[in-house]
């Protein structure tokens, strides 16, 4: 079988996960990679995730069939400019950056009709190859924004590879992509970070806000732990849409502020009701292993030996535990022992076993 020659520039969370996914799920491939951080490359090479460490002049990519640009968005644009004169005309170049208009415009300016913009709708707040997972792309929508001038065979080849790593390709116009992602990803990240910064600013000298912050705050601000470089570059390349969506959000905040101030209880009720109904309509499909946590909470008495008791019970049934620990934060009355599993099957089996032993288990 012909060896698929893959190139990856930027071997962090997304590029590293892609390399792992291609190695484990696709037709035999040889992966050539480059990153400005040599450590990432050496780690990946030693672990067999990549086959060739490329030189920074990019000439090692000249034989590639498909090259993925996986660095921060502005960096991907710089790399694309360099690669254009190096790669074979049949090579497909694509990126996984979070904004699409600027890079597809650049490809058009460069008259590069072998570039297909891409954006997998999966990821996490973590960075770097050490957080990479081979199943990050599974069941995730993977947006493609091909220019009409791109040969259909190239789009087909890329789609097939995306399907092989378990993702769901979907075509969207670059402009539309940037408007949509400003609403569902970019502005939410800005709001999450603003909320964290607000709490830091308002906290008292005993830092009680920091200590007491519970599930609600942590759920809505997880993404504030993301890479500042990545988000700075997203803001730079999707400015117009981000500003428009921020204005819209500010209007909505002003409206609910006014309803609260003037005791318009009906309006306050409707605000929360509308949000709950729409939020409940989103399907929480299983996407990317990093994001998905197969967690259960077990009602136990907080006493020595309890973790060992439950861990032993599950190991007797050959169930692998990813993480286990007492949650001292009793914001929920139910259960304090949290157990994380690697997969749905282990989670379901454990619920059954623990229920049979009369433990109260919560999802
Ligand atoms: N993190 C997410 O959730 C997510 C999801 C979808 C898309 N993206 C996009 O994926 C891209 C990478 O994000 P990530 O989360 O993997 O970030 P990351 O910080 O984990 O990895 C980025 C890697 O790019 C390398 N790099 C930086 N400049 C480079 C250059 N000039 N040449 C080669 N390598 C360079 C860095 O050293 C790093 O290893 C970004 O464009 C981001 O917008 C991220
Ligand atoms: O789940 C997360 O942690 C992410 O931030 C993933 C996320 C998102 O906003 O949904 C982040 C940036 C992307 O471009 C795509 C996906």
Query: What pLDDT score was predicted for residue 288?
Result: 56
For residues 343 and 356, membership in a common domain is answered with yes
Tell me 319's DSSP state: P
In a domain, 59, yes or no: yes
Q: What is the CATH number of the domain that holds 230?
A: 1.10.3660.10
Read off the pTM.
0.85
Residue 290 confidence (pLDDT): 53
Q: Which ligand has an atom closest to residue 75 CA?
A: 1
Please say whether the beta carbons of 143 and 118 come within 8 A. Answer: yes
Domain count, the chain: 3
Instruction: Give the residues surrounding ligand 1 with Cβ less than 6 Å away.
Output: 9-15, 34-37, 40, 70-73, 75, 79, 96-98, 120, 123-124, 127-128, 227, 230, 234
CB 354 within 8 A of CB 310: yes
Query: Is residue 214 over pLDDT 60?
Result: yes
pLDDT at 329 over 70: no
Domain boundary among 117, 140, 173: 173
State the distance from the centre of ligand 2 to the C-alpha of 278, rounded, in angstroms. 20
Mean pLDDT of the chain: 93
* Ligand 2 pocket: which of 122, 190, 225 to mutate (most atoms within 8 A of CB): 122
Residue 157: which of 206, 226, 93 has the closest Cα? 93
Q: Are 350 and 296 in contact (CB under 8 A)?
A: yes
Within a domain: 287 = no
332 pLDDT more than 60:
no
Same domain (yes/no): 122, 264: no
Quick: pLDDT tens for 196-208. 999 999 999 999 9
Whether residue 72 is predicted with pLDDT greater than 70 in this model: the reply is yes
209 in the same domain as 84:
no
- Output the CA–CA distances (angstroms, integers) from residue 5 to 61, 91, 134, 150, 152, in the order listed: 9, 10, 18, 20, 20
| 324 in a structural domain | yes
What are the beta bridge partners of residue 34?
9
Q: Are residues 112 and 182 in the same domain?
A: no
SS3 339: strand
Residue length of the chain: 363
**Residue to probe by mutation, ligand 2, list 185, 285, 289, 291, most atoms within 8 Å of CB:** 185
ipTM of the complex: 0.99
Last residue of a domain, one of 173, 204, 219: 173
Looking at the fold, whether 23 and 139 belong to one and the same domain comes out as yes
Cα gap 11→75, rounded to integer Å: 13
Residue 185 lies in a domain: yes
Longest CA span, the chain? 71
Ligand 2 center to residue 334 CA distance, Å? 31
Residue 285 maps to a domain:
no
Q: Are residues 125 and 267 in the same domain?
A: no
59 pLDDT higher than 50: yes
In this predicted structure, what is the pLDDT of residue 81? 98
Considering the domain architecture, whether residues 197 and 116 belong to the same structural domain is answered as no
Inter-CA distances, 129 with 18, 43, 90, Å: 10, 8, 29
CATH number at residue 96: 3.40.50.720
Task: Report pLDDT digits (tens) over 235-277.
Answer: 999 999 999 999 999 999 999 999 999 999 999 999 999 999 9
Same domain, 317 and 234: no
Given a cut of 90, whether residue 301 has pLDDT beyond it is: no
DSSP letter for each residue of 31-91: EEEE-S-HHHHHHHHHTTS-SEEPPTT-GGGTT-SEEEE-S-HHHHHHHHHHHTTTS-TT-
User: How do beta strands 294-299 and 360-362 pair?
Assistant: antiparallel
**Confidence category of residue 333, pLDDT binned at 50, 70, 90:** very low
CATH of the domain at 342: 3.30.2130.10
| 74 within domain boundaries | yes
What span, in angstroms and rounded, lies between the C-alpha atoms of 312 and 288?
Answer: 29
- Domain extent for 151: 4-173
Instruction: Answer yes or no: do 153 and 15 share one domain.
Output: yes
Residue 106, pLDDT score: 98
User: If you take atom 36 of ligand 1, which residue's CA is the nearest one?
Assistant: 10
220-232 pLDDT, tens digit each: 999 999 999 999 9
Residue 303 lies in a domain: yes
Report pLDDT for 334. 45
Which amino acid residue places its CA nearest to atom 14 of ligand 2? 98
CA dihedral 208, 211, 214, 219 (to 10 degrees): 110
User: Ligand 1, closest atom to CA 9?
Assistant: 33
- Ligand at minimal distance from the CA of 121 is 2
- 147-197 confidence digits (pLDDT tens): 999 999 999 999 999 999 999 999 999 999 999 999 999 999 999 999 999
- Residue 80 class from Cβ within 10 Å (0-12 exposed, 13-18 middle, 19+ buried)? buried
Average pLDDT over residues 118-146: 96
pLDDT number for residue 92:
98
Of 305, 295, 302, 311, which Cα lies nearest the Cα of 353?
311
Mark which of 225, 252, 280 sits at the end of a domain.
280
- How far is 94 from 70, CA to CA, in rounded Å? 9
**3-state DSSP call for residue 115?**
strand
Mean pLDDT to the nearest integer, 34-39: 98
pLDDT tens digits, residue range 266-292? 999 999 999 999 999 987 665 554 555
97-109 mean pLDDT: 98
């Amino acid at each position: 079988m012909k060896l698929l020659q893959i190139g990856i520039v930027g071997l962090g969370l997304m590029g590293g996960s892609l390399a792992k996914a291609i190695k484990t799920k696709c037709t035999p491939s040889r992966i050539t990679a480059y990153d400005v951080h040599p450590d990432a490359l050496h780690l990946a090479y030693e672990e067999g995730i990549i086959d060739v460490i490329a030189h920074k002049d990019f000439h090692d990519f000249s034989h590639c069939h498909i090259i993925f640009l996986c660095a921060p968005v502005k960096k991907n644009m710089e790399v694309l400019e360099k690669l254009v004169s190096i790669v074979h005309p049949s090579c497909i170049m694509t990126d996984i950056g979070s904004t699409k208009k600027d890079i597809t415009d650049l490809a058009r300016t460069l008259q590069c009709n072998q570039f297909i913009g891409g954006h997998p709708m999966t990821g996490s707040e973590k960075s770097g190859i050490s957080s990479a997972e081979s199943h990050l792309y599974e069941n995730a929508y993977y947006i493609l924004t091909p220019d009409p001038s791109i040969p259909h065979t190239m789009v087909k080849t890329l789609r097939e590879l995306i399907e092989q790593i378990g993702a769901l390709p979907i075509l969207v116009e670059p402009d539309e992509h940037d408007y949509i992602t400003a609403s569902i990803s970019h502005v939410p990240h800005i709001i999450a970070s603003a909320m964290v910064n607000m709490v830091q600013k308002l906290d008292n000298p005993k830092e009680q806000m920091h200590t007491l912050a519970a599930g609600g705050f942590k759920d809505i601000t997880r993404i504030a732990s993301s890479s500042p470089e990545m988000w700075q570059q997203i803001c730079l390349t999707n400015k117009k849409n981000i500003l428009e969506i921020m204005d819209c959000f500010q209007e909505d905040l002003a409206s609910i502020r006014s309803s609260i101030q003037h005791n318009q209880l009906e309006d306050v009720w409707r605000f929360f009701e509308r949000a709950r109904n729409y939020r409940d309509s989103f399907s929480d499909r299983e996407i990317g292993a990093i994001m998905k946590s197969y967690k259960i909470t077990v009602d136990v008495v907080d006493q020595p030996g309890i973790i060992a008791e439950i861990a032993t019970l599950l190991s007797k049934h050959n169930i692998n535990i990813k993480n286990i620990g007492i949650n001292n934060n009793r914001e929920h009355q139910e259960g304090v022992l949290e157990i994380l599993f690697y997969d749905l099957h282990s989670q379901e089996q454990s619920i059954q076993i623990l229920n049979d032993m009369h433990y109260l288990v919560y999802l």
